[in-house]
Amino acid sequence: MGRLFAVEIVYRGIFQKTLAKNISRAIVLAAHCEGKPGISFGRYGDSPERNGIPAKSFAIVATDDLTLEEGMAKYEPKEVDISIAVDDTLCKGVESWAWYGLQPINRLTKPGGTLIVTSREQPETLIPMCHRKEYPYQLAIVKGIPSFSGLWVYKDDHTDVRILGAIARLLPELFGLESVQKAIMQEWQDPVKASSAARSYERITSVTVRPEQGNPEEPYKFELPKWWEMGEGIAIPGIAPGHTMQDPESQKSGGYQPARNPTFKKFTTRTMRPVVNFDTCIKCTLCWLQCPDSCFDVTPEGLYDANMEACCGCGVCEAVCPVKDCVTMVNEIAFQDNAKWWEMGEGIAIPGIAPGHTMQDPESQKSGGYQPARNPTFKKFTTRTMRPVVNFDTCIKCTLCWLQCPDSCFDVTPEGLYDANMEACCGCGVCEAVCPVKDCVTMVNEIAFQDNASQWEMWRKDKPVYQAWLKEKIEHRPERSHGFRYRGQYEEQVPEMMEIAREDGA
């Protein structure tokens, strides 16, 4: 009997359906290039999919036909070599609409297996979200914003091929990079996508997650009834009546809090959650009336507090609220628990951002492109230790840096190039990670710069001078690594750093 490989792709229903299908299908095609048979399929219980509800696709590959048939005989794999979460908020747990109970994202990951997550966060942020396992496993992060689209449209931001490149590096027994690129060319006929897969292959690293690391909460467990215990039909237990709420400060009772299902929680379906500015709330009741899941509690003073255990993050409350910035949807990855906003304090006020505008070429005075409006007070550049420098001569205008930048810091120039605004850039390095062109975007030590001037304007004024400036700045790149990427990295870099220090001392 040969070896069976299994990969699961955990995704948000509808929004990431095509992405998951592309990944699972391409895994089988890449393996087929090496003579390995395989099959990809969706989890039966997820159909029909719901917006945002966690769902799964699988790809199983074997070294021979008989082993594949044995794997296909099972409803779904009991354990997998690689688990892929194409949205980092899924690390908090998965609960499908067919209700398997809240399950850990790494539940099927075998000992020593790998969890791949699409995220711009660091391992120290994601590991506490994942439930603990009895044995160590690997965590690998494909840098970028989780890719969302729709049922009939697809956001082709290369997330699919970048994950394929990562798999080739992390599980070379399944297939190699050459097979991935061959499958990409057969399926999409796009050499840029093949290049993106190669870049991801070169850059992906993993960290070991030990048994004592992660969320200590015990996953939900249940015991299925025996056949002789089942009744004549289906009995759905009723929900108890609601009750009043108590103010944590004044101890005053009042308002109304609905009783809710103590077992079935909907919070794992959301990628964003509402935050409420109670100071500007006019008590119009619209959020409470329109919420499809009755997740708003009425406080003793008549305010409306979203219960984060019940909220699915649909955004209806934000849409119907007539008061500007009273209810604001915020990325779920920014939160660690489901604490109540009302009990925290006076509320959170988030000012709106004005619309953007076109840019003007400093040489031709031609207008075009797009420059987003940005917060005039809050600047993020002080957070960075490195900044991206762009080689506009080699840019192919693929849009990936612009699509994936978590802070929307790229301005679109009149000729369709992408210029990183240094007032807004935090130096995360996602643009360098997703760029498919070698040395088009390079992260450089921040100490090499004196201001936040536009690189594009410098390039437009004198291209040869800009190229000389670019070459000089890139020489600073080895002086400082862009964060901790793999175990032993700093030990490898110490000799190089010491040599630089000796040269400076001389």
pLDDT digits (tens, 9 = 90+) for 25-64: 999 999 999 999 999 999 888 888 888 889 999 999 999 9
Q: What is the pLDDT of residues 173-224, one digit of tens each?
A: 999 999 999 999 999 999 999 999 999 999 999 999 999 999 998 877 777 7
pLDDT in the model for residue 505:
52
> DSSP class of residue 332?
G
Domains of the chain: total: 3
Residues 33 and 166 reside in one and the same domain? yes
Query: Do 152 and 298 belong to one domain?
Result: no
Q: Which runs of E-coded beta strand occur in 295-404?
A: 296-298, 304-306, 327-331, 357-360, 367-371, 386-390
Query: Is 10 in the same domain as 153?
Result: yes
b vs e for 217-248, b when ≥16 Cβ sit within 10 Å of the residue's Cβ? eeeeeeeeeeeeeeeeeeeeeeeeeeeebeee
Q: What is the pLDDT of residue 482?
A: 47
Q: Are residues 37 and 186 in the same domain?
A: yes
Q: How confident is the model at residue 350 (pLDDT cuts 50, 70, 90)?
A: low
Give the contacts of 61 (CB within 8 A, at least 6 positions apart).
4, 5, 6, 7, 27, 28, 31, 36, 37, 38, 68, 174
Domain with residue 72: its CATH number is 3.40.920.10
Asked whether residue 307 falls in the same domain as residue 430, the answer is no
Same domain, 313 and 385: no
pLDDT exceeds cutoff 60 at 480: no
Domain range for 130 is 4-209
Q: Are residues 321 and 370 in the same domain?
A: no
Mean pLDDT value of segment 83-92 = 94
Residue 496 counted as domain residue? no
CATH at residue 320: 3.30.70.20
Residue where one domain finishes, among candidates 317, 344, 371: 344
Compute the average pLDDT of residues 350-379. Answer: 76
Domain presence at residue 222? no
CA dist., res. 447 & res. 467, Å (int)? 19
Classify burial at 30, counting beta carbons within 10 Å of its beta carbon; exposed 0-12, middle 13-18, buried 19 or more: buried
Query: Token pair for residue 372?
Result: 């987003």
Nearest to 418 by CA among 440, 386, 446, 447: 440
Judgement on whether residues 77 and 120 belong to the same structural domain of the protein: yes
Determine which helix (DSSP H) or strand (DSSP E) holds 400, and give its type and residue range. Answer: helix 400-404
Full-model pTM: 0.69
Are 276 and 374 found together in one domain?
no
β 54-62/38-42 pair status: antiparallel
54 burial type by CB count under 10 A (0-12 exposed, 13-18 middle, 19+ buried): buried
Q: What is the pLDDT of residue 46?
A: 84
pLDDT digits (tens, 9 = 90+) for 296-315: 999 998 999 999 888 988 89
Kindly state whether residue 119 falls inside one of the protein's structural domains: yes
Which amino acid, residue 116? I
pLDDT for the residue numbered 341: 61
**CA gap 436, 401 in Å, rounded:** 10
Element (DSSP H or E) covering residue 116 = strand 109-119
Q: What is the DSSP pairing of strand 4-12 with strand 80-85?
A: parallel
Across 274-281, average pLDDT: 92
Closest-CA residue to 87 (of 417, 423, 332): 332
- Asked if the bond preceding 146 is cis, omega within 30° of 0, the reply is no
Is residue 293 a part of any domain in this protein?
yes
Identify the pLDDT of residue 260: 83
Least confident range of 21-30, 471-480, 496-505 = 496-505
161 and 13 share a domain?
yes
- Give pLDDT, residue 477: 56
Q: In sequence order, what are the beta bridge partners of 466?
A: none
Assess if residue 505 is contained within a domain.
no
In a domain, residue 243? The reply is no
Please report whether residue 502 resides in a domain: no
Q: What is the mean pLDDT of the chain?
A: 86
CA atoms within 13 A on the CB side of 313: 20
Q: Which pLDDT score is estimated for 116?
A: 98
Mean pLDDT of 159-167: 97
417 within domain boundaries? yes
pLDDT band at 484 (very low <50, low <70, confident <90, very high): very low
Q: How far is CA 219 from the centre of its chain?
A: 22
Q: What is the pLDDT of residue 177?
A: 98
DSSP conformation letters of 234-283: ---PPPPP-EEEE-TTT--EEEEE----SS---GGG-SEEEEE-TTT---
Claim to verify: residue 444 and residue 325 sit in the same structural domain: no
One domain for residues 371 and 328? no
CA–centroid distance for 50 within its chain: 19
Q: Vertex 415, ends 413 and 416: CA angle to 5°?
A: 65
Evaluate if residue 243 carries a pLDDT over 70: yes
CATH number at residue 411: 3.30.70
List the structure tokens of 305. 């507090």
**CA–CA gap between residue 51 and residue 374 (Å, rounded):** 31
| CB contact at 8 A, 65 and 154 | no
Q: What is the mean pLDDT of residues 126-148?
A: 94
List, for residues 371-407, the tens digit of each pLDDT value. Answer: 888 877 666 676 787 899 999 999 999 999 999 998 8
Please count the other Cβ atoms lying within 10 Å of the Cβ belonging to residue 365: 8
Confidence at residue 269, expressed as pLDDT on a 0 to 100 scale? 82
Contacts of 362 (CB under 8 A, 6+ apart): 457, 460, 461
